[in-house]
Chains A and B, each alone.
Chain A
Amino acid sequence: MSAGATHLTPVNIPETPPELQRQPLVGNLRSFGWISNRVSSLSEDPAPLWWWVLFVPSALALGMLVFMVSYQISTGVGVWGNMRPVMWAWDIVNFVWWIGIGHAGTLISAILFLLRQRWRTGVNRAAEAMTIFAVMCAGIYPALHVGRAWYDWWLFPIPNSNSIWPQFRSPLMWDVFAVSTYFTVSVLFWYMGLIPDLAVLRDRARTRVRQFLYGLFALGWTGSNRHWSNYEKAYLILAGLSTPLVLSVHSIVSLDFSVSQLPGWHTTIFPPYFVAGAVFSGFGMVLTLLIPLRSMFKLEDLITMRHIDVMCKVTLATGSIVGYAYAMEFLIAWYSGNPNERFHFMNRAMGPYQWAWLMMVSCNVLVPQFFWFKKLRENLVVVFIISILVNVGMWFERFVIIVLSLHRDFIPSSWGYYRPTIVDICTYIGTFGLFFTCFLLFIRFLPMIAISEVKGVTPQSDPHHLLGGAKEKELVPDED
């Protein structure tokens, strides 16, 4: 190091070739102020017409859910199509499906945070909200699919006068712990991240009510250095806590199946395969939600094409893992030499439910392969359609695993063919009502993009950036 290095020699940094340039995570070099205004306005301006158009049917569907659930509890599980041998059907299919969707949120917020994937900031808030609402939808099913839902509390280890404890060997027991822990930590994590943004909304509030409510939930945030320091530490700790949960919750859900001895369920591949599938479907759902929101709320500068591109790539990767798992299941069934396993997998591909298996394979394995092409990743219509197909495919994956394994097992005299009832279908639609009602309320009243975090990934917030700090006003006009 030379002693005369007291002043910086301007280095002529050559322009990066365009193909190597990364797209910025905030488009058009938007200013901090613009970001705050843009995001806050979503909850400050009157609700747009399309919001009402979506909200009213969602609320009606939620009402239908309440009705269907009351009907089922008051009348019996028989109102669904469940039967012997298919004792679990749409109830558990939908449970696993919603839980899977709930995966992307925590993955984005926790694992990508720890891995310093800065692109997560644009989408993490909405994804976390999606997680929470999806887990709520999921939680309805195991709680209500039982014959006597009013005794659900027996699944919790509550000391009682009879000294009867839950059966700790049962994976359903583990499920209770896994899902409730996951939900709790997800809510905490989401709320933690919201605090600085709630303070922004509080400070901008124009009515007493808003000021009071946002103020209440902002927990007296002032943005002081000490607050930020504690916040960052807590956020890191929660991220660390959530990371194993991302893996555990779906692994344990998969153990509901693999602990049994049913061909098609009894397999060690399930935990990683379920986690990959869950991430796959979770990203599918994030894309499904954000692509329309982004254009309707004009958030193209915050949720950029780069975000979408990255999420498409994650979908492609996890979709391929899922496809690999499907192939491995067949290989192991053949290689094990177990006639029941072999029969089961032949029956999947050639049996009465062949249509469901074909839906699963085409939507989950073939369709994501389109994401190899950059052209298609940039076409929002294509991405939107594929993201929906991914979730259709993942629904069928759960259907294939649950219903197809059960409908033909060891004793052929007990084979059967399952069909859902109208109550099954309406309950499922009802959970969409719950999900979208919650999600629409969320985007209406809470900042759906993490304001403080997004600011941190703008070029101007980087002290090493060429543009330094405060010149952005000259560069970009603040109008939309």
Chain B
Amino acid sequence: MNQAPKQDTVPGRRYWRGLDELADTPEFRQWVEREFPDGASEWADPVSRRHFMKLMSASFLLAGVGFAGNGCRRPVEKILPFTQMPENYVHGVAQLYATAMPTRSGALPLVVRSNDGRPTKIEGNNLHPDSNGGTDRLAQASILDLYDPDRAADFKKAGQIISSAVAADFLADLARHMQTNRGEGVRFLLEPGNSPSRRRLQRVLSEKCPQAKWHAYEPIGLDVHTRAATLAFYQPVKPVFRYDAADVVVSLDCDFLGSEEDLHNNIRRFASKRQVEGPEGTPNRLYVVEGLMSLTGFQADHRLRVASSAVLQVAAALASEVLGQNLNLADLQNVSQSPAGVDPNWISQCAKDLKANGGRCVVVAGHRQPQAVHLLAHAINAALGNIGKTVLLQAVPETKEGSLAELAQALKGGQVETLIILGGNPVYTAPSDLKWPTVQRQAHTVVRLGYYEDETAPLCDWHLPAAHYLESWGDAHTSDGTLVPIQPLIAPLFGGWTELEVLARLAGDTVASPYAIVRETFAGFVSGGDVEGAWRKFLHDGFLADSAAKPLALKLNKEAVSQALSGPGATALSKENLEVVFHRDYRVDDGRYNNNGWLQELPDPVTKITWDNVVLVSRKTAEELGVKNNDKVDIKLGSGTVRGPIWVQPGLADYSLALALGYGRTRAGRVGQGAGFDVYPLRTTEAQHIAVGATMAKVGETYPISCTQQHWSMEGRPIIREANLEQYRHNPRFAKEMDREELPVVAPLYPNPFDQLKEHGLHQWGMAIDLNRCVGCSSCILACQSENNVPIVGKDQVARGREMHWLRLDRYYSGPPAKTARADTFIREERQQFEEWITNPQVVTQPMLCQHCEAAPCENVCPVNATSHNEEGLNVMTYNRCVGTRYCSNNCPYKVRRFNFFDFNKRPLNKLYWGPLANRAQDELELVKMVRNPQVTVRMRGVMEKCSYCLQRIEQARIEQKTKAGASGDVVVPEGKFTTACAQACPAEAIVFGNLNDTNSRVSKLKQSDRNYSVLPDLLTKPRTTYLAKVRNPNPQMPDYNPGGPLSLQNIEAKMGPPGEENAAEGHKATNEPKGAE
């Protein structure tokens, strides 16, 4: 169990009585030489904001002492805005810094907001040439990791806390030792990454210690894309898929909208093509072949449900259809028998569609699929002329690192004297057949830089705390090849080191300033000229202009493709021979975000389960094996057994068990401890992603699962409206005509006070959400949580329906109306898992947040006037005034209000029921406070809260505009000046917020769209948030084409009659359209 962060317990002085006395000691010299003092960890009391400010000022003071006393010539490492005008720093005004979040394959360009020296909110860098300012959910949540009280905070030797100076001395000794024996017996284990500085340091180290060997390991095999492309195109390249240039996308088990790398770019590009401007526009078409139900499967126009292990056969069948005799792939015939239950017509029609769109289509293979599938996809893409158009090939440096298996072999052979693990958690994530925990101990000395004292930590001799990326200097390339800086916003809270720092020390650099390292690497990218100026611009903009990689035009290596296909075909699955799919969890990734409360409580975008992973099975599998939701089962695969609860997932392939990685951690921290079950014991080096031959047996126990959305069906209500492209073209007003007929209101009995009020409003705020663009990625939920200080409530409270997310993502499954019998509606939610219609459903998602109704039903029922309307159309909530009758929530038809049932901010999650007897540990509370946005009140227990359209941002923009306007009176905030946190984070640009008074604003234009509709218009609440109906683009030639339109539409029609039957006649339109601002 992790302890509260301990302070360095170095004996001796911590305070000095006079500078002279201090300056003479060797400790002080060393102290000054490091660019930041050892940080917060060396003070005895826990970190607080006040304390942090003291720390910051102390560090600057010491830096000054250093220059005066020692005549040091190193540049002052200030973050750029500070170097320009520190004296103009206005207390309380947030500052923005450009940085980047390193990922496995690159980086995500960011702009991070800092309030009084605390990073508080992460946003995408929209200046970056390959970004629209959107981010993914992991980036949004990563800020919470910075303030994780369970982070590794101490330097440790054999479990004993030591000072960082001792660790530095050890590394210096090690460096000397390595140089003398040329690195003999030294092995490095890295995580993948493309930092040029790291690569440079690796080079330096390799030159000095040529015998040292490098290994890289990463449990989610995202590097398969590069490996396959390298094989297919003769030289080291990585593919970049341009979904924004593709009219037809075929995904071979590739969840490019959910769990592949570079998610935000994929979503942005895909959504830009998904857009329909009007009946003339044509959205792209998406074919998905997959075993799991993924976010990409949600968006599919045609989804082929096959076992993951059979995707290779489908890919081969597709390839032989597309390639025909053009490519002589002899082995294709071996595997191209389409698997049982797959309509060959599906594949041939899909191939036809691809061929008709040569150069405007893309076939992508997912990272879970074997290399052969990737090579087939490349072969198809090459044959259709997609290379250079929708598939860009970027040169990448050749990977020289060995694999984890090789390292394990070396360790077993006793060849490793010193093992240096930089990042990663191999004891938890390594394939089970390597027996890593015992193997790791074969090394004489294990040194590890880790962010947590996790499973790997106790098996290390030296444990060095790693710095968060917001505390580090670094660099990386984004997916387009652009160089981006990683610059710190805060001194390391616990004095952690970065990877670069450790590598530099091992290279013999005793000062090891990552700033200097990054700066030096950067100089190599600037050819002459003003390096300092370029550096400043680099840090300010957050990227190096025109540093993107040029796509290469390369020929396909047909032999490589042929060779890859020589494997055996897939075996038939049955209930005794199940397939296991290990997948990257949508929230905790491979387990690295396990201690992040926001991610743990984020409902899985597909299952809507929080705080756990489950064994996902299809209805048929569950039925045949006699299990149902919450039943615990034992899964046996090879020599491994794991135990977890069952969850029936609609749309999953039969005889497939989907297991999410990253749970069941034994040393996670206060948040992640006890969440889910560990599936790594089933994983072997051979079958890291898909394994066949598992059996499953019921244990006879049940396990509670907290799911935020219990009901799966929309029940034929026109909440989410969608149609096929043909239907839309035939009747562009279909969405509006699905409004229920209401009698026209001749004269209102009671005039709405807001109608007069809004005449005084300067702006009229409104929001439009394009459901055609939304892919359900959930970034908006976390952006809102981060911006608005939304607390987490814990698994037990989620089970009781008390989660606090202001913005939720509703997900509905639709089956054919004939199968969704009427009586099913009234059953308990637990029964849905047995219904036949869930076998292969269509899915729709909808962000649901406060609709800011002009005639808000919540307002008139509040006895104390705590919720009311302002003249700009916001339904505002006065927390101070709220007594918590909860009537507003009962009367809210959208159920978007949240109630603080407990003091979620003040009490630890496991002691909510203890009331005043429970207090959060001080270190936890102090750190959690630091992540809060100071512009938003932290709510106490007993009050209602809900989406405010980011009122604080609105007010800030208004104030700024007023200041700027001065006497000119131009006080209307111009379009694009700001937006809400959710809209800002949305990589798909599905959420658009703005001023409805401005007829040129994007939101006004979207509201003019014929697809625009409001949810529950017949209640006459006149919501300010409206939705743009979804338009699917299925292929009428496909065997699974639904001529009646999407299944949800068919269900609505079955309940309500066809849309527009009464309304279509001119002059008899529904009178209840939301008026918006007029």
Contacts and interface: CB of A to CB of B under 8 A. Distances in A.
Interface stretch (B79-87, B326-334, B706-714): B706-714
Interface string A406-428: 10111111111100000000000
A171 interface: yes
A350 to B, nearest CB: 4
Contacts of A292: none
Interface in B908-961: 912-916, 940-944
A172 interface: yes
B822 to A, nearest CB: 9
B942 A415 contact: no
Given A87-B899, A411-B810, A415-B711, A148 B883 contact: yes
Interface in A69-84: 71, 74-79, 81-84
A28 B318 CA distance: 101
Residue from B812, B901, B941 whose CB has the most chain A CB atoms within 10 Å? B901
Contacts of A373: none
Q: Interface of chain A, helix or strand or loop or mixed? A: loop
B861 A172 contact: yes
A84 B823 CA distance: 25
A148 B802 CA distance: 17
Contacts of B863: 155, 166-167, 170, 172-173, 176
Interface in A50-91: 71, 74-79, 81-88
Given A71-B915, A152-B883, A259 B711 contact: no
B895 A409 contact: yes
B130 interface: no
B864 interface: yes
Interface in B1016-1030: 1016, 1019
A347 to B, nearest CB: 6
B237 interface: no
Interface string B707-732: 00111011101010000000000000
Nearest to B916: A74
A153 to B, nearest CB: 9
Contact of B894 (A86, A173, A411, A417): A411
B797 A78 contact: yes
Contacts of B1019: 261, 410
A343 to B, nearest CB: 7
Contact of B826 (A169, A260, A346): A346
A164 B1019 CA distance: 30
Given A75-B913, A77-B899, A83 B800 contact: yes
A248 B829 CA distance: 40
A154 interface: yes
Contacts of A155: 863-864, 883
B890 A413 contact: no
Contacts of A261: 857, 891, 893, 1019
B1016 A410 contact: yes
Interface string A311-338: 0000000000000000000000000000
Q: Interface of chain B, helix or strand or loop or mixed? A: loop
A170 B882 contact: no
Contact of A165 (B719, B857, B865, B895): B865
B864 A167 contact: yes
A408 B717 CA distance: 13
B704 interface: no
B901 A412 contact: no
B886 A170 contact: no
Contacts of A78: 797, 800, 802, 901-902, 912-913
Given A83-B801, A85-B801, A147-B943, A413 B826 contact: no
B900 interface: yes
Contacts of A165: 865
Contacts of B914: 75
B882 A260 contact: no
A339 B825 CA distance: 13
Nearest to B887: A172
Given A87-B899, A350-B823, A166 B864 contact: yes
B17 interface: no
B942 A77 contact: yes
Residue from B740, B802, B861 whose CB has the most chain A CB atoms within 10 Å? B861
Given A411-B810, A411-B894, A147 B861 contact: no
Contacts of A192: none
B745 interface: no
A77 B900 CA distance: 8
Contacts of A409: 893, 895
B885 A172 contact: yes
A256 B887 CA distance: 9
Interface in B789-836: 797, 800-802, 808, 810-812, 823, 825-829
A122 B98 CA distance: 85
A412 B812 contact: yes
Interface residues of A, number: 57
A75 B898 CA distance: 18
A220 interface: no
B737 interface: no
B881 A339 contact: no
A109 B900 CA distance: 44
Contacts of A88: 886-887, 890
Contacts of A77: 884, 886, 899, 901, 942
A155 B886 CA distance: 14
Nearest to B713: A412
A262 interface: yes
B826 A351 contact: yes
Nearest to A418: B801
Nearest to A410: B893
Nearest to B861: A170
B943 A148 contact: yes
B860 interface: yes
Contacts of A343: 715, 825
Interface string A123-159: 0000000000000000000000111110110110000
Given A172-B861, A412-B713, A151 B883 contact: yes
A352 interface: yes
A346 B893 CA distance: 19
Contact of B709 (A176, A346, A408, A413): A413
Residue from A167, A172, A406 whose CB has the most chain B CB atoms within 10 Å? A167
Interface string B90-113: 000000000000000000000000
A82 B886 contact: yes
Residue from B857, B860, B889, B895 whose CB has the most chain A CB atoms within 10 Å? B895
A256 B862 CA distance: 11
B848 interface: yes
A146 B881 contact: no
Contact of A75 (B719, B893, B902, B1056): B902
Interface in B837-858: 848, 857
Given A343-B715, A411-B719, A83 B802 contact: yes
A127 to B, nearest CB: 31
Contacts of B34: none
Given A81-B800, A170-B863, A416-B710, A87 B886 contact: yes
26 contacts: A74-B915, A75-B915, A76-B901, A76-B902, A78-B901, A82-B901, A86-B801, A146-B885, A146-B942, A147-B885, A147-B941, A152-B883, A155-B864, A155-B883, A166-B863, A169-B860, A170-B887, A259-B861, A260-B890, A409-B893, A410-B717, A410-B1016, A412-B719, A412-B812, A413-B709, A417-B829
- For the complex of A and B, 5 pairs with smallest distance between CB atoms: A147-B884, A147-B942, A75-B915, A78-B901, A83-B801
Interface of B: 709-711, 713-715, 717, 719, 740, 797, 800-802, 808, 810-812, 823, 825-829, 848, 857, 859-865, 881-887, 889-891, 893-895, 897-903, 912-916, 940-944, 1015-1016, 1019, 1055-1056
Given A155-B864, A261-B893, A415-B711, 16 more contacts: A75-B913, A75-B914, A75-B915, A77-B901, A78-B797, A84-B801, A88-B886, A146-B885, A147-B943, A164-B864, A165-B865, A167-B860, A170-B861, A346-B826, A352-B827, A416-B710
